Amino acid sequence: MEVNKFWSRLFGICGIIGGLTLFSGDMLFYYDPVNSNLYENMGNASDSRIISSTITALIAAWLYVLGCIHVFQAFKSTKPIVKNLVLICFVAISIAYGVVHAAFVAIATSSKLAIENNLNLNQSVSLAVEANNILRLIVYPIFGLLSFLFITQVWKKRTLYPRWIILFYPLILFLLEDFICKNLSGSISIIVCGGYLNLILIIFFTASSIALWNKND
């Protein structure tokens, strides 16, 4: 699968837009300028916000998958098994982003029912949260394999990427998530921590687009 410079740039931009789309979905679920409790914010969100947020999951997943083609082009000089595994892993993770976000509707509706009926909020959302966490756990080994392939191939200069792209690859920021979020509070905490996983992909696809802007002829 070969694409020219125009399409490579366009697919990179699709990845950025996918991140912005799902980040907006995060804010529809969570954002409240005066409350930093995610469950309470979801419980107080309007029905239209919850439905709109769920829709962003599907649109963003499509855009993220197109962004995967952009990354695949950077690996076109690597061995077939490597570039194909990178593509498969990236696509699997992109789809998982959409699925996991859409699954948050169960947490949101559970929160709404708990608040409307004066039920214990944490107990009401516990099953939905557990199911969502299991979905995430399934993705982690795929992310681990992708990280190994991405970092080793880039470091050995077998791709079109410069080595500095490793600094913007999601692994580093993913590992720093707990540290960063523990040191934030208020509305900035909701914005950064509520949309964290999409923010790190926005950063990656932006850096990737810059790195590859003139690399695919």
Task: Name the DSSP class of 33.
Answer: T
Mean pLDDT, residues 125-146 taken together: 96
pLDDT for residue 133 is more than 80: yes
pTM of the prediction? 0.93
103 belongs to a structural domain: yes
Dump pLDDT digits (tens) for 24-77: 999 999 999 888 888 999 999 999 999 999 999 999 999 999 999 999 999 999
217 belongs to a structural domain: no
Two structure tokens written together for 46: 């309007």
CB atoms within 10 A of CB 195: 22
Mean pLDDT, residues 97-110 taken together: 94
154 belongs to a structural domain: yes
Rounded CA separation 159/122 (Å) = 46
Number of independent structural domains in the chain: 1
Mean pLDDT, residues 190-198 taken together: 93
Two structure tokens written together for 20: 């912005």
Rounded CA separation 104/211 (Å) = 34
Torsion of CA 193, 96, 150, 145, to 10 degrees: 110
Range of the domain at 104: 5-210
Return the SS3 of 105.
helix
